Amino acid sequence: MKENILVRKPSDLTITWAQKIVNSHSCDTKVARVDIVSMEIGTTTWIRVTVEHNGPETLPRHWFVKLPSMAWRARLITSLPRLLHTEVRFYKKVAQSIPINRPVILAAQSKFGRGTTLVLTDVTEFGASPGHSSDTLTAAQAALVIVQLAHFHSS
């Protein structure tokens, strides 16, 4: 039976929840602690966490968790659950076949009427700097985004 990893709020990001995710990657690894590093609420809720465990170095300790928005106005927009569900399908079924840089999926689950939870490696694991919704792109960065999108759509 598939473990339920769906969560609705940051307080649901517990050791027990993280252990369910870790179990699918390393059966002998034990989670000791889960700490919220940052949270950003917009059209979705983004939460960066550190997960302390005794597993191998290949098992990330910095995770990026994406949930439906905690902002009531954003939740009123009916297309958002479908958009997040589509993102889960992308990471589970399509991402591996597309030659673009992206985080590694650790877990994803979506249930109609219950919500969606997407857990990825945090880009800080690879030395990258996470963006923020308030960030603006330089002209050079925008050009790179366009090139990546063109490459993505040509695949």
The reported pLDDT for the residue numbered 110 is 81
The reported pLDDT for the residue numbered 95 is 77
- pTM score: 0.78
Which domains can be identified in the chain, with CATH numbers? 10-154 (3.30.200.20)
The reported pLDDT for the residue numbered 75 is 62
The reported pLDDT for the residue numbered 41 is 85
- Residue 14, φ and ψ in degrees, nearest 5: -100, 175
The reported pLDDT for the residue numbered 2 is 67
Contact 64, 120 (CB under 8 A): yes
Looking at the DSSP bridge assignments, the partners of residue 118 are 66, 108
Q: What is the mean pLDDT of each run of 10 residues along the chain (155 residues)?
A: 82 96 94 96 89 95 89 62 69 76 85 82 80 79 85 68
The reported pLDDT for the residue numbered 26 is 92
